[in-house]
Amino acid sequence: MSQQDFSEHRAMLLNSVTDFARGVDVARVRKLHETKTECDRAVWSQMAELGWLGVLAPEEYGGMGLKLGDMAIVAQGLARALVPEPLTAVAVLAARVLADSPNAALKKKLLEGLVSGDILPATAWQEQAGTLDVAKIATLATPFEGGFRVSGSKRFVIGATHADGYIVSARLSDASPAGLQLLWVPRDAAGVTLTFDTLADGRQSGTLNLSDVTVAKENIIHGGAAAAESLARAIDHTAAIAGAELCGIMGRSLEMTLDYMKTRVQFGKPIGSFQVLQHRAVDLYIQQELSTAVLADCLAVLDEEPDAKTRSAAASRVKARCTDAALLITRQAIQLHGAIGFTEDCDVGLYVKRAMTLAAWLGNGIAHRRRYARTEILDGAAA
C-alpha cells in the first residue's frame, strides 16, 4: 500500500468515526450512574458493522488486520463523544490475546464472534492495584484429566457488565510465567459470580469471583511463557490506545473551553480576550500537542513489533504523558468555564470524569513513569 493510499484509508476511517460521533447522545452518558447500562448492544452491533471491532483482528477471521495507528483513530474519535461502549477493552485487549491463541477452533469461534459483535469478551487478568506484572496473580488452575479447575478473584474487569464470557489468567502451582494459563470462562459457568463498582464516569468495573470453575481443555486459549508474553503485549497495546482515548478527551474538552471563552462576556468583552486566560489556553494547547506527538511516535514504534523492553517503554511513555495532560486540561477546562463548569448540566464535567477513569486504568502516570525508569535503568546497566 502506497503512502497516498495509506493516508486516504485513514482519512476514510476518520470520517466514518466523526460521522458516527455526531449522532451520539451525550445524555446517555449522563444517565450511566442511574441505569448502570453502559453498553447498548444495538450500538455495539453498529460499531461491528462499521468494522471497528475488527480493526486489529486478522482478515481470515473477518477483521481488517490493520495497525494500532488505525485503531487509535477510532478510539480517539469515539472518546471525543464519550461513547461508553468498551471498545478498547474488547477490540484491543481481548482481540490481541485471542489472535495469539494456538487453539485454532476456539480462536476462530471467539475472534469471529468478537468481530461480528455477537460475542463480547472481557479480559480478567488483574488482581491487585498498582501492578502491570501479568505473573503477579494468585488465581489457581488445578489440572485434571479434562482441563482445569479454577479458583480465585479478578478485579478491575472493564466490559464485565455485558460480557458474554471472560479471558481469565490463572497459574499452575508453578509461579513462574511458564505456569500461566489463559482460559475462556463463559459468563454462565457454574461457580462464577460477579460484583460491580461504579467508576467516576458512571461506567462499571467488575470483580470476577471463581469458585472451583471447570474449564474444559477445549477452552484453553494459551499457556506457558508464550501466554504471559501475549498478555503483556496486549496490555501494552491497550495502554497505548487508552492514551489515544485520553487525547480525544483532552482535545474535545479544550475545544469546548475555547468556544466558551469566545462567547462568555465579562466586563463588556469576551473572557478570551484577557491575556492571562490566553496564556493559560496556550499552555493547555501545548500539552495537547505534546501528547499527540508522543502518541504518534509511540504507535509507530509499537506497530513495528519491537522487543518487550522497547514495547513496554513506548506504552508507558504514551500512557504517562497522555494521562497527565488529560487530567490537567480537563480540570483547567472546568476552571475556565467558571461556576457553570461545576454544574451537572455542563458537559465539560463529563470529560474530566472520563479522564479520571482512563487515567487510572492499566496504570496511572506515576506507575508508568516508574516502569519507564526501570526499563531505562536496566538498559543502562546492560550497556
Which residues are within 8 A (CB) of 163 and not within 5 positions of it... i.e. 6 or more apart?
120, 121, 122, 157, 187, 206
Asked if 289 and 171 sit in the same domain, the reply is no
| Whether residue 239 sits in one domain with residue 222 | no
Residues 158 and 269 reside in one and the same domain: no
What is the pLDDT at residue 26?
A: 85
Grid coordinates belonging to 36: 448502570
Considering the domain architecture, whether residues 231 and 364 belong to the same structural domain is answered as yes
- Dihedral sign for Cα 85, 89, 92, 96, please: negative
Residue 144: is its pLDDT beyond 60? yes
Do 169 and 275 reside in the same domain of the chain?
no
pTM of the model: 0.93
Q: Same domain, yes or no, for 86 and 211?
A: no
> Which ranges of the chain would DSSP assign to H, the alpha helix?
3-22, 26-30, 32-35, 41-49, 68-80, 87-88, 95-99, 104-116, 225-263, 275-302, 308-337, 348-360, 365-382
C-alpha cell at 19: 460521522
Burial status of residue 169 (CB atoms within 10 A of its CB: 0-12, 13-18, 19 or more):
buried
Same domain? For 256 and 362 the reply is: yes
Domain boundary among 120, 136, 160: 120
Domain residue limits at 242:
227-382
3-class SS of residue 156: strand
Q: What is the pLDDT of residue 341?
A: 79
Check which CATH number belongs to the domain holding 171 and give it: 2.40.110.10
The angle at the Cα of 39, spanning 36 to 40, to the nearest 5 degrees, equals 110
| CATH number of the structural domain spanning residue 22 | 1.10.540.10
Q: Which of 120, 148, 183 is the last residue in one of the domains? A: 120
- Listed ranges 19-23, 201-205, 249-253; the one with the highest mean pLDDT: 249-253
| 311/232 Cα distance (integer angstroms) | 10
Same-domain check for residues 240 and 366: yes
| 166 touches 160 (CB < 8 A) | yes
Mean predicted confidence (pLDDT) in 202-227:
95
Write the pLDDT tens digit of every residue in 294-322. 999 999 999 999 999 999 999 999 999 99
Same domain, 10 and 155: no
Q: Which of 120, 153, 179 is the last residue of a domain?
A: 120
Q: Is the pLDDT of residue 2 over 50?
A: no
- Report angle CA 359, 363, 364 to the nearest 5 degrees: 45
| pLDDT band per the 50, 70, 90 thresholds, residue 383 | very low
Residue pLDDT, tens place only, 22-67: 888 888 888 887 787 888 999 999 999 999 999 999 999 999 999 9
* Domain of residue 365, CATH code: 1.20.140.10
Residues 220 and 237 in one domain: no
Closest CA to 80 of 156, 26, 146, 136: 26
Question: 239 and 375 share a domain?
Answer: yes
User: Does residue 189 sit in the same domain as residue 43?
Assistant: no
Tens digits of per-residue pLDDT, 92-127?
999 999 999 999 999 999 999 999 999 999 999 999
Q: In the structure grid, which three cell numbers stand for residue 35, read together?
A: 441505569
Per-residue pLDDT, 174: 60
- Give residue 161's pLDDT band: very low, low, confident or very high (50, 70, 90): very high
In whole angstroms, what is the distance from residue 355 CA to residue 326 CA?
6
Average pLDDT, the chain: 92
Number of separate domains in the chain: 3
pLDDT at 150 over 60: yes
